[in-house]
Amino acid sequence: MAKHDILGYFEHRRDGAWVCVRPFTLTTRSASIDIREGQRFDYGKRVGGLDLAEYLEQLGSQFGS
């Protein structure tokens, strides 16, 4: 899976949050985390050492969200 494929598992909301739209397992250097449908990620909320909203925003600006 290409790193930008993660965008297909999340929806970007107008308020800046990212919400999971289908189950996904996030694997980082420090952890493997199961993310459930409906989980919301705002800026500053770190998951496995990663600010997921910021990461998704960066990918979205590069590849479209």
Q: Is 13 exposed, middle or buried (0-12, 13-18, 19+ CB in 10 A)?
A: exposed
Instruction: Provide the residue ranges of all domains of the chain, joining segments of one domain with +.
Output: 3-63
pLDDT digits (tens, 9 = 90+) for 15-57: 999 999 999 999 888 889 999 999 999 999 999 889 999 999 9
Q: Is the pLDDT of residue 2 over 80?
A: no
Q: Is the pLDDT of residue 65 over 70?
A: no
